[in-house]
């Protein structure tokens, strides 16, 4: 598949973006969906990209296409980010590169009743969605502070702000990323490092569409999420892509009682996922 992307953030800012976040970006969870879209947009900016996920063949295909299409360098690393050793391996395998941007996009989402889901699945969710982004933010954050510039984007979710039945553990891991990202935004911004927690609602990625057979109308596209979020890096601690989702979040979080919102979310989730 050959697609083409025009640079995401305002084009007159391309040079600033490259200077601050180049010359290499690491995209963790890059083989498909949003991850591949992040990589494509960064490549369009002229950043070299390290692509990380478990499926080597998909990474290799994407790496080859981006290198050819955007005349950049790529590195494809097949790693299971649930494993602590894989995090060490990723840090070691990028030691020789001038990395200026980390996007932690990988996620595991166990959907279904909490008690019917094996504990092992919940623990893997915590390894991929919590331990890995924290560990990599620690490792790359140190590098970025040492060079005086850089950026970290952590993928949270709109579900981070409301307890959600059927995805209770997943939503809790996303709350971790939201709060970690916002805290690091304040802590690191004076040292030249921009941190942003990205909180999308439903995005039309292949896995989302496959996981929600009863509700195929996704709210936003991966392209919208990536374009808008890259434009907000360095401007705020967290961001909800899509004006409609920002309005929806405002109503849910500010206007309605929490008890009611949690019940509403439960009904939505049951409608989507109950057998």
Ligand X SMILES: NC(=O)c1ccc[n+]([C@@H]2O[C@H](COP(=O)([O-])OP(=O)(O)OC[C@H]3O[C@@H](n4cnc5c(N)ncnc54)[C@H](OP(=O)(O)O)[C@@H]3O)[C@@H](O)[C@H]2O)c1
Task: Report the distance separating Cα 98 and Cα 147, nearest Å.
Answer: 9
DSSP 144: H
Q: Is 53 in the site for ligand X (CB under 6 A)?
A: yes
Q: Give the shortest CB-80-to-ligand X separation in angstroms.
A: 5
Q: List the one residue from 8, 9, 26, 30 that touches ligand X (CB under 6 A).
A: 30
Q: Give the shortest CB-169-to-ligand X separation in angstroms.
A: 12
Orientation angle between helical segments 132-147 and 168-188, nearest 10 degrees: 10
Residue 239 has φ and ψ, to the nearest 5°, of -150, 135
Each residue 163-192 as x (binds ligand X by CB under 6 A) or -, in order, gives ------------------------------
Burial of 112 (0-12, 13-18, 19+ CB in 10 A): middle
Q: How many residues form the binding site for ligand X (CB under 6 A)?
A: 28
The answer to whether 104 is a known catalytic residue is no
- The smaller minimum CB distance to ligand X, of residues 20 and 25, is found at 25
Chain positions 198 to 227 lying near ligand X, rule: CB under 6 A, are 200, 202-203, 205, 207-208
- The smaller minimum CB distance to ligand X, of residues 95 and 216, is found at 216
Q: Is 135 in the site for ligand X (CB under 6 A)?
A: no
CB under 8 Å to 7, separation ≥6 — which residues? 14, 41, 44, 45
Residue 220 has φ and ψ, to the nearest 5°, of -135, 160
Q: Is 136 in the site for ligand X (CB under 6 A)?
A: no
Cβ 161 vs Cβ 253: under 8 Å: yes
Q: Is 54 in the site for ligand X (CB under 6 A)?
A: yes
Task: Report the distance separating Cα 270 and Cα 96, nearest Å.
Answer: 48
Task: Report the distance separating Cα 39 and Cα 105, nearest Å.
Answer: 11
Show the tokens assigned to 9.
């953030």
List the catalytic residue out of 21, 170, 176, 273.
170
- The smaller minimum CB distance to ligand X, of residues 99 and 175, is found at 175
Query: Which residues form the catalytic set?
Result: 170
Contacts with ligand X, residue ranges (CB under 6 A)? 29-35, 53-55, 58, 79-82, 105-108, 128, 155, 157, 200, 202-203, 205, 207-208
């Amino acid at each position: 598949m050959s697609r083409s992307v025009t640079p995401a953030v305002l084009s007159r800012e391309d040079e600033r973006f490259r200077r601050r976040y180049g010359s290499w970006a690491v995209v963790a969870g890059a083989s498909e969906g949003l991850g591949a879209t992040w990589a494509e947009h960064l490549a369009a900016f002229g950043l070299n990209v390290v692509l990380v996920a478990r499926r080597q063949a998909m990474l290799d295909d994407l790496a080859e296409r981006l290198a050819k299409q955007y005349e950049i360098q790529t590195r494809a690393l097949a790693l299971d980010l649930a494993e602590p050793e894989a995090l060490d391996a990723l840090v070691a395998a990028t030691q020789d590169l001038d990395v200026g941007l980390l996007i932690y996009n990988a996620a595991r989402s166990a959907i279904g009743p909490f008690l019917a889901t094996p504990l092992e699945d919940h623990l893997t969710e915590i390894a991929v969605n919590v331990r890995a982004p924290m560990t990599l933010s620690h490792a790359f954050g140190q590098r970025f502070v040492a060079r005086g510039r850089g950026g970290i984007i952590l993928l949270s979710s709109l579900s981070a702000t409301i307890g959600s039945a059927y995805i209770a553990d997943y939503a809790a891991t996303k709350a971790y990323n939201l709060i970690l990202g916002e805290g690091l935004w304040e802590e690191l911004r004076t040292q030249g490092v921009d941190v942003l927690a990205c909180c999308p609602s439903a995005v039309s990625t292949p896995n989302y569409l496959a996981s929600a057979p009863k509700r195929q109308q996704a709210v936003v596209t991966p392209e919208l999420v990536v374009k808008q979020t890259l434009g907000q890096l360095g401007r705020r601690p967290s961001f909800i892509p899509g004006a409609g989702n920002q309005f929806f979040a405002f109503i849910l979080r500010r206007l309605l009682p929490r008890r009611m919102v949690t019940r509403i979310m439960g009904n939505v989730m049951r409608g989507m996922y109950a057998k």
